Structure 1
């Protein structure tokens, strides 16, 4: 069938607080994600994909703008995206696209979200903090006229139904649709993970990731519901693909699946995600559609900050020079020479922290005088160093070990460089107190990986 549009449609399927290892593509044995796994196998799978800020609002600001949270000013939750900030919606609208937003926004300080604070999206069916206006079987959002709308069904299904209706209405014109789910985030006021009824207790004691098995946290209480939410999200993804196929839009539509951050189940601190650990920062990410089909598995490290320029580039639109990430399209052509060998993470609220992740190493620092209202600091202290080759579940903190001083020295300079590239003011990093190393040894070559 001939293309009805010269421009590809774009759908972002965005989940909240989903660990990368919930997917079969990353080794989860429970069969929770057959649709994502098929997308990863037949499209483009970003195997090493990370958030640039492991908390809801800041991560969302980065994905909407292509700018680090310290650049937009949205470095923690409850800081609205400044009015006038250009988002993906603005860039796609300028190129003739219809734009729609459905679900959780979390970039305004109000409910309902008035038109100037919707980031430029034309069609609106959303709530600022969806967890506060809805429950698993009580989905309440607001429309373009700021009217309260109650959608029928389990929350994932309710939002998916709305997304499919949008696609159907706009099938003959190019559209950019952002569908932002709350699941598998916890329901705040109860601190639980309400799966659809059919999956209640379906995954109890079935499989626990090794970091949670070692550290515990709330995983025994919450993994069952969390997995049930992931299962229903994947079924929703399948329904979106079915809708595209039935409307003959599959070959005309780019679909991005990703999440804002992961979930450490209170193993690393007193909440769920604000830390440098893989459980907090690593997320499942895949593309499919024009330009992405059968491009395989990408092993380079990719950040959430790289996804906005990628979407624009893939749609044939210019990437603004102001964006702080870069398009991954060269990686699809296996042009990897200039791709960064690390990703940079800003951490807020639990601490004013910074981290860098390479293929092998994780290095993180924290400001001694951290406060919730500090976007950055002029002084940080070394806090964590992990060898992800020997210790993929980050159970042994190597910071300060004599054997790893050269590694810390190299990573310290790389982190400072990354901070500067993100537009941060110069800072000092205080080295950790030295510890004896035991049998551990690190060669200079290993330090550079």
Structure 2
């Protein structure tokens, strides 16, 4: 598709005349470059590309923690993982946490959640207790959908804890459930706007067999896939085996998106609905460590993000760096709902209107499970630190870090050459170190010590 025009002021920046619906279409482990918006030539995302052509494409959108539960906690709260108490998988979102669902519900929206939750601890089967649902009213979900489903077998639990088993492809089953919510009585009174969070497992691998199960016949479509440059340059990993299935999963997700937006359009509701498409993190196909994410590299951090709706129109391409913590306040702001002071991100709407000259020029990233780390991603640099003695599973943070990563993204966008020990870049590291320390403190953590990297011999 033709690229949307560069950023201009949206065509309808005023507050919405009526309370809009809000739909979050949330995928799992989807790289930004699976989309036509970001140069993928395979035509995997025509519906998303068209949504962006009439909305806002956040060109450089990053998770603030490249693993499922922490990033999901941030999207429910607008807070960094360490501030939510969910710094790694297997932890529960605190039951009293201020959340998107509570903010929308209290403002009069009918709230619904469908799909993968992953914020009720390490529970793999059974219903999520009501007190662990973050304030959502309509509920059809599983805490760990990867363990209650397979490609063609899906079990979700309703608000009463009863299991519902679906046939057909898993992404289609969730899409059907969303359509039932949109056209049925799950959203409550007809005059209530809805906030629906639709959370897929695709294109995440199927944990039970480390596979990417596309719909029947879809993997074969991409048997000779286009290969992102970082994967091709790094070699190794298992992308050669799994890219066809991964791409097939992305294509089917886009078809589900098309069905849902078409249904909203048919009901005359699409233009009165704020739509957010994003993912929890990316995927490096075991080229950076022994699994798929949990690294400071853009393959793990960068995700596709598109918004469309009142105040979010015009084919805008937003060039600033945006974090997951910025998306919840954006949704509330676009709907005319006050943004809670607890949220650490900031709405994109003032930026889109040209009224936020102080937008940060970097994003902060926290890393757990693979290492206790923190990173800064700027226009040009990727700077990362780790705690050599840290316990990556149990330690929320560290008192001391060591410089571990430095990539010049202008010269090395695939992050192939680590320059952290280059003596010629000592001044660059000094500046990045100061910026990272400031962002760590601003996120609510104590000020740590960062030890400079030893010069490369």
Q: TM-score, normalised by structure 1?
A: 0.95
Match of 2:141 among 114, 123, 126: 126
| SS of equivalent residue, structure 1 residue 298 | strand
| SS of equivalent residue, structure 1 residue 272 | coil
> Does structure 1 residue 114 correspond to structure 2 residue 129?
yes
Q: Which residue of 2 aligns with 1:439?
A: none
CA drift at 1:25: 0.4
Q: d(CA) in 1 for partners of 2:358 and 2:167?
A: 48
Match of 2:173 among 135, 154, 158: 158
Contact preservation (8 Å) 2:219, 2:247: no
Q: d(CA) in 2 for partners of 1:334 and 1:296?
A: 12
> Does structure 1 residue 319 correspond to structure 2 residue 331?
no
| SS of equivalent residue, structure 2 residue 60 | strand
1:199-278 → structure 2 map (5 Å cutoff): 199-216=218-235, 217-278=237-298
Match of 2:373 among 353, 359, 364: 353
Unaligned runs of 5+ in 2: 1-15
1:366-381 → structure 2 map (5 Å cutoff): 366-371=386-391, 372-381=393-402
CA drift at 1:335: 2.6
CA drift at 1:293: 1.3
| SS of equivalent residue, structure 2 residue 217 | helix
Q: d(CA) in 2 for partners of 1:428 and 1:378?
A: 6
Q: d(CA) in 2 for partners of 1:227 and 1:172?
A: 39
Q: Which residue of 1 aligns with 2:155?
A: 140
Match of 2:216 among 197, 200, 207: 197
CA drift at 1:295: 5.2
Contact preservation (8 Å) 2:294, 2:369: yes
> Does structure 1 residue 286 correspond to structure 2 residue 298?
no
CA drift at 1:431: 0.9
Contact preservation (8 Å) 2:151, 2:169: yes
Contact preservation (8 Å) 2:98, 2:342: no
Contact preservation (8 Å) 2:351, 2:357: no
Contact preservation (8 Å) 2:53, 2:315: no
Q: Which residue of 2 aligns with 1:446?
A: none
Q: d(CA) in 2 for partners of 1:224 and 1:160?
A: 22
Q: d(CA) in 1 for partners of 2:177 and 2:383?
A: 42
- Spell out, residue by residue over 1:215-265, the C-alpha distance to the aligned partner (whole angstroms, 9 max, x if none): 231101111110000000111111111011111101111100000000011
Contact preservation (8 Å) 1:5, 1:174: no
Contact preservation (8 Å) 1:205, 1:220: no
Q: d(CA) in 1 for partners of 2:191 and 2:94?
A: 33
| SS of equivalent residue, structure 2 residue 325 | helix
Q: Which residue of 2 aligns with 1:440?
A: none
Q: Which segment drifts farther, 58-67 or 144-153?
A: 144-153
| SS of equivalent residue, structure 1 residue 319 | coil
Contact preservation (8 Å) 1:295, 1:332: no
CA drift at 1:172: 4.2
Contact preservation (8 Å) 1:125, 1:144: yes
Contact preservation (8 Å) 2:372, 2:395: yes
Unaligned runs of 5+ in 1: 437-449
Match of 1:89 among 88, 93, 101: 101
Give the number of equivalent residue pairs: 433
Contact preservation (8 Å) 1:5, 1:173: no
Contact preservation (8 Å) 2:367, 2:373: yes
CA drift at 1:41: 1.6
Q: TM-score, normalised by structure 2?
A: 0.93
Match of 2:203 among 168, 176, 184: 184
1:10-159 → structure 2 map (5 Å cutoff): 10-109=22-121, 110=123, 111-159=126-174
| SS of equivalent residue, structure 1 residue 200 | helix
| SS of equivalent residue, structure 1 residue 312 | helix
Q: Which residue of 1 aligns with 2:9?
A: none
- Spell out, residue by residue over 1:176-212, the C-alpha distance to the aligned partner (whole angstroms, 9 max, x if none): 0000000000000100000000203221232110111
- Spell out, residue by residue over 1:348-370, the C-alpha distance to the aligned partner (whole angstroms, 9 max, x if none): 00001000000111000111112
**Greater relative contact order: 1 or 2 (C-alpha under 8 angstroms, separation 6 or more)?**
2
> Does structure 1 residue 410 correspond to structure 2 residue 434?
no
Q: d(CA) in 2 for partners of 1:425 and 1:128?
A: 32
Aligned alpha-carbon RMSD (Å): 1.2
Q: d(CA) in 1 for partners of 2:219 and 2:401?
A: 44
